[in-house]
């Protein structure tokens, strides 16, 4: 995979949910392109492993344990980051997906948990970073939405509700903050090869067959890779996307147009 090693020189990129999967790929990609990466996650072991991988590859990173649903904690970590490293971009990636269920079968606790992490977590991240960005007159926000944020996915009601909210909220932030030199965009991945993705197939009677059926639904005839989402995020977080704001970049192997 090609990268521009100088794209983030002297920049600091803050990534939530970076202890595994897409978040880890985003952190590693930004570090490979010169950023100091602040890795956050509720999973301390995973977050520290991400930092170690970045440092082993010659990059700079620091880890902070963070529950994105905790508004005060989020604000404190962002403030610490800005003081120690500066802050140039924040990637609100942390998210969860519930088990498949029809809307009428989803219990209240499941709905609240998905909305808390996927929506409140993004809200908290934007609310914490915006004062820093506005004061310095620059900054990039990249929120991770989903294909489920633009299409209806059966048996994924809480997830699609949350990701649709993330996408439209991103547009609101872009409309408000652009006057202060701040950009806000979203990335909408299709199905990606992660642990969360694997869990989806585990509930099928025949996981291998379920995977093959899904792959056939994509024009590119395969599922996505975390690194491919990370490439899109790195673009939107960087000055290469200096005139792009309020956009939802779909990274789905053509699923949404098939």
Q: What is the CA radius of gyration of the chain?
A: 17
Q: How many CB atoms lie within 10 A of CB 69?
A: 19
Residue whose token pair is 């909220």: 169
Residues with a catalytic annotation lie at 159
CB of 224 closer than 8 Å to CB of 216: no
Own/partner pairs, 169-177, CB within 8 angstroms, 24+ separation: 169/119, 169/122, 169/123, 169/126, 169/143, 170/141, 170/143, 170/145, 170/246, 170/248, 171/246, 171/248, 173/126, 173/130, 173/141, 174/245, 174/246, 174/247, 175/246, 177/130, 177/133, 177/134, 177/141
Q: Are 2 and 36 in contact (CB under 8 A)?
A: no
């Amino acid at each position: 995979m090609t990268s521009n090693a100088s794209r983030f020189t002297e920049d600091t990129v803050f990534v939530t949910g970076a202890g595994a999967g897409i978040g880890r790929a985003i952190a590693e990609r930004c570090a490979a392109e010169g950023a100091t990466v602040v890795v956050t996650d509720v999973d301390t072991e995973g977050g520290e492993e991400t930092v170690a991988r970045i440092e082993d590859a010659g990059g700079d990173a620091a880890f902070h344990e963070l529950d994105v649903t905790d508004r005060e904690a989020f604000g404190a970590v962002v403030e610490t980051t800005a003081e120690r490293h500066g802050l140039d971009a924040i990637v609100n990636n942390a998210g969860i997906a519930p088990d498949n269920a029809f809307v009428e079968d989803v219990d209240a606790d499941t709905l609240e948990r998905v909305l808390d992490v996927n929506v409140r977590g993004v809200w908290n991240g934007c609310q914490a970073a915006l004062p820093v960005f506005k004061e310095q007159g620059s900054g990039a926000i990249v929120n991770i939405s989903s294909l489920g944020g633009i299409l209806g996915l059966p048996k994924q009601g809480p997830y699609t509700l949350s990701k649709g909210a993330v996408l439209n909220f991103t547009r609101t932030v872009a409309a408000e903050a652009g006057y202060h030199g701040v950009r806000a965009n979203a990335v909408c991945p299709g199905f990606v090869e992660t642990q969360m993705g694997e869990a989806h197939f585990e509930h099928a009677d025949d996981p291998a067959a379920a995977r093959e059926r899904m792959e056939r639904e994509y024009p590119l005839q395969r599922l996505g890779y975390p690194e491919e989402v990370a490439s899109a995020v790195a673009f939107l977080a960087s000055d290469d996307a200096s005139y792009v704001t309020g956009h939802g970049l779909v990274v789905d192997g053509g699923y949404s147009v098939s």
